[in-house]
């Protein structure tokens, strides 16, 4: 009933369970790992429109989509109209969908008038949506929060602006910028947004397992859901939610052996993509997430936080996993 194919513009998606764009997380290796578990759509890390406009090569590398399942959405952010127009045209050459970020709460983004700061300037937000739609060769989507703070709740207003500007689907995170990730997601505002427009509405926020996924659908009537932080160290969450929505039954928890295989593959992909030194440093946060709530994981994390080469990291990982196997015998 809730799990279904979804069409965004002319892009047909196999299901309506999405991986959210996350800066520093949803790079090529992580997306490939998640894609094993069949999300309907994955998003790039958020990409600076100004960096694309000025030809930054490091930023362009974030749009490496080799060996990936399609479709892929590229998320861009910025408040400079010319840069956003140029970026939309540029990234639409590589992506099936272009997504506009008007939800990021990070101060380093909002201080420049970007991300969720645009929720305080709806005229500028409208102008950006219109130029991105005009310049993109593929459907455009929008991700936003319910407002800047409780005095500026603009969710339904910006949803209607988006629909009128030609946006093909919207994702709403049911928190204000002021809330960051504190408190609980406001499902009622997502429901109001869904009732206010005719384009697909994707619900986002606090989806951490099968039950919260189902609850998002039931309480809001949304057309799809987007999973962000809960996928970190837990990429099989997509398979679990899809199975649950399809059958009403929960899959068994992933085995230690299978988790170990996923971790080793993730590290290998990261080394291939970014080189050993960068990969080992970046993989620490992933390992911390993969081993969260496991026995002695705190001591394990302390060990890996100073490691800078792959051989040593893998040795510590192997030793830790052997200890886990003995515990579970």
DSSP per-residue codes, 11-22: EEES-SEEEPP-
Distance CA(62)–CA(226), nearest Å, equals 21
CA gap 294, 65 in Å, rounded: 33
Q: What residues contact residue 299 under an 8 Å CB cut-off, 6+ apart?
A: none
- Indicate the Cα dihedral angle 289, 13, 129, 134, nearest 10°: 140
Q: Give phi and psi for 223, each to the nearest 5.
A: -85, -15
Residue that has been written with the tokens 């997502």 in this structure:
190
List the catalytic residues: 104
Two structure tokens written together for 123: 């005229």
Between the alpha carbon of residue 320 and those of residues 271, 287, 294, 309, 326, the distances in Å are: 21, 12, 10, 17, 10
Long-range contacts of 279-288, Cβ-Cβ distance < 8 Å, separation of 24 or more: 279/310, 280/307, 280/308, 280/309, 280/310, 280/313, 281/308, 282/24, 283/313, 285/24, 285/232, 286/30, 286/232, 286/233, 287/263, 287/317, 288/233
DSSP 63: G
Candidates 134, 36, 48; CA nearest to 87 is 48
């Amino acid at each position: 009933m809730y799990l279904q194919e979804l069409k965004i513009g002319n892009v047909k998606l196999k299901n309506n369970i999405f991986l959210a764009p996350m800066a520093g997380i949803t790079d090529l290796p992580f997306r490939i790992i998640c894609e094993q578990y069949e999300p309907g759509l994955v998003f790039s890390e958020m990409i600076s429109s100004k960096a694309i406009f000025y030809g930054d090569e490091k930023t362009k590398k974030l749009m490496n989509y080799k060996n990936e399942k399609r479709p892929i959405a590229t998320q861009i952010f910025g408040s400079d109209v010319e840069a956003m127009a140029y970026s939309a045209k540029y990234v639409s050459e590589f992506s099936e969908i272009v997504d506009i970020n008007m939800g990021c709460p990070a101060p380093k983004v909002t201080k420049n008038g970007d991300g969720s700061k645009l929720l305080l300037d709806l005229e500028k937000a409208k102008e950006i949506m219109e130029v991105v739609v005009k310049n993109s060769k593929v459907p455009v989507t929008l991700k936003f929060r319910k407002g800047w703070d409780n005095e500026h709740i603009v969710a339904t207003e910006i949803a209607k602006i988006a629909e009128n500007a030609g946006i093909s689907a919207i994702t709403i995170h049911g928190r204000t910028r002021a809330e960051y990730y504190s408190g609980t997601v406001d499902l009622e505002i997502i429901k109001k947004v869904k009732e206010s427009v005719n384009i697909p509405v994707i619900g986002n926020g606090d989806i951490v397992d099968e039950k919260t996924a189902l609850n998002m659908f039931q309480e809001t009537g949304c057309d799809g859901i987007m999973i962000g932080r809960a996928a970190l160290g837990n990429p099989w969450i997509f398979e679990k939610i899809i199975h649950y929505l399809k059958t009403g039954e929960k899959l068994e928890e992933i085995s230690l052996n299978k988790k170990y295989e996923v971790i080793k593959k993730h590290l290998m992909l990261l080394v291939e993509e970014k080189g050993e030194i960068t990969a080992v440093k970046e993989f620490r946060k992933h390992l911390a997430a993969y081993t969260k709530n496991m026995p002695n994981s705190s001591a394990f994390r302390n060990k890996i936080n100073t490691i800078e080469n792959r051989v040593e990291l893998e040795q510590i990982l192997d030793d830790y996993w052997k200890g886990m196997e003995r515990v579970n015998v």
